[in-house]
Every structure is written in C-alpha cells, then in structure tokens.
C-alpha cells in the first residue's frame, strides 16, 4: 500500500521519472545526493524509499534529537551522531556503519542549498574508511529525473574516484559553481 501511494504521489502525480535501479539486496551504501537546492529533497527522499524497497536513513547531529523532536527524526530514519564520541564527523559516521550489518545512509555533501565553490569531501572519506560503496543520486529538477548510479566502489585514488563522481553529476542541468569549475578546468578541487 505504501509503495503504491508513494508511486502515485511521486511518479504519477508529480511526474518524476526514476533513472537507474538501485539494488535492494546491497547491504550497505552511502547515498550521495546532489544538487541539494531545496527543502523538497527531503520529502522526495522519504517517498523514494518504498518505491526502491530500500530503507535509506540519514544522519543528523544529536542535538536535533531533543525530547520534543526525537520521535519525528527517528520515525523518518534519522540517526543521531554524537560528535563528542569521535574526533570528527567522518569517524562518527564510519562508527555507525561498522556497528551494523545492513545500513543505507544519505548525505548531501554540498552542505547547503546555496551555491558552493567547493564540494566537501567527507563523504569520500566515510565511504573509503567504512568500505561501503557510494550510490550517486542526482535530483534533476529541470527534467524531473531522479538519477541513480550503479554502486561506486572507491579505490583510494582520490582524483580518479572523484572524477567518476563529478562525471555522474555533470549530467544534471542545474550545477553549482564547484561542478561548473570542474567542467571548465578538469581540476577537482
């Protein structure tokens, strides 16, 4: 029922098209969503989960899980990250991956809906340290396409691995400055 309702809202009513087919049997992955340009990314992500048959969670700072809001974040797949238990956010997220056998987590590495000149690379270090693939996920609002890559397994060669990431996201018409700069120069910043 939930799958049918999600399909109707997202695919029929709002005319989104899924391009790519993530494998629900994949036990762990870090979902990298770009571009992050609107708050509507969140409800679209929530609607996608039943359609894909994958429970994709997200991480949020522990302060958001206060007594009055924890129920909402937990019900929608939020996981608190306690930064004081690790030296940094990357290690905290790697720790979450290492403590479970099955986990799909979503991250928006641009960090903001505003334009950015540099893509944050924390997602790369998380996936590499946790030994999980990336699922590159593009929100093409112009054509109403939700694009999904095959699992991207990192080699540890930052330039080579990031070239795959940049190439995938270059197919989306709306680009932030970091991607425009790469398209113009070929330099990964």
DSSP string, 51-70: HHT--EEEEEEGGG--TTTH
Beta strands in the chain (DSSP E): 17-19, 28-34, 56-61, 78-81, 103-107, 134-140, 145-148
185 Cβ contact list (under 8 Å, min separation 6): none
Rounded-to-10 torsion of CA 19, 20, 23, 27: -90
Each domain of the chain, given as residue ranges in start order, spans 2-185
Note the pLDDT tens digit of each residue in 46-82. Answer: 899 999 999 999 876 788 889 999 998 899 898 876 7
Note the pLDDT tens digit of each residue in 154-171. Answer: 999 999 999 999 999 999
Q: What is the pLDDT of residue 45?
A: 87
Burial class (CB in 10 A: 0-12, 13-18, 19+), 179: buried
**66: preceding bond cis by omega (within 30 degrees):** no
* Mean pLDDT score, 12-38: 90
State how beta strands 103-107 and 56-61 pair.
parallel
9 Cβ contact list (under 8 Å, min separation 6): 47
Prediction pTM value: 0.88
Note the pLDDT tens digit of each residue in 98-147. Answer: 999 999 999 888 765 677 778 888 899 999 999 999 999 999 989 999 99
Q: What is the pLDDT of residue 42?
A: 80
Burial class (CB in 10 A: 0-12, 13-18, 19+), 38: exposed
Contact in structure between 147 and 172 (CB atoms under 8 Å): yes
Q: What is the pLDDT of residue 112?
A: 58
Contact in structure between 134 and 121 (CB atoms under 8 Å): no
- Residue among 36, 30, 25, 14 at smallest CA distance from 110: 36
């Amino acid at each position: 029922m939930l799958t049918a309702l999600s399909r109707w809202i997202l695919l029929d009513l709002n005319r989104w098209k899924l391009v790519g087919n993530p494998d629900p049997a994949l036990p762990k992955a870090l979902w990298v969503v770009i571009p992050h340009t609107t708050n509507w990314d969140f409800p679209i992500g929530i609607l996608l989960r039943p359609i894909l048959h994958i429970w994709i969670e997200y991480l949020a700072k522990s302060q958001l899980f206060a007594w009055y809001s924890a129920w909402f974040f937990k019900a929608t797949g939020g996981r608190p990250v306690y930064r004081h238990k690790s030296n940094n956010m990357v290690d905290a997220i790697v720790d979450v991956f290492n403590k479970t056998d099955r986990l799909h987590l979503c991250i928006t590495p641009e960090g903001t809906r505003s334009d950015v000149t540099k893509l944050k690379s924390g997602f790369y270090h998380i996936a590499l340290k946790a030994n999980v693939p990336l699922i590159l996920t593009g929100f093409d609002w112009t054509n109403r396409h939700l694009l999904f890559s095959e699992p991207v397994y990192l080699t540890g060669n930052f330039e080579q691995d990031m070239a795959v990431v940049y190439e995938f996201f270059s197919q989306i018409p709306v680009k932030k400055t970091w991607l425009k700069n790469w398209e113009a120069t070929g330099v990964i910043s």
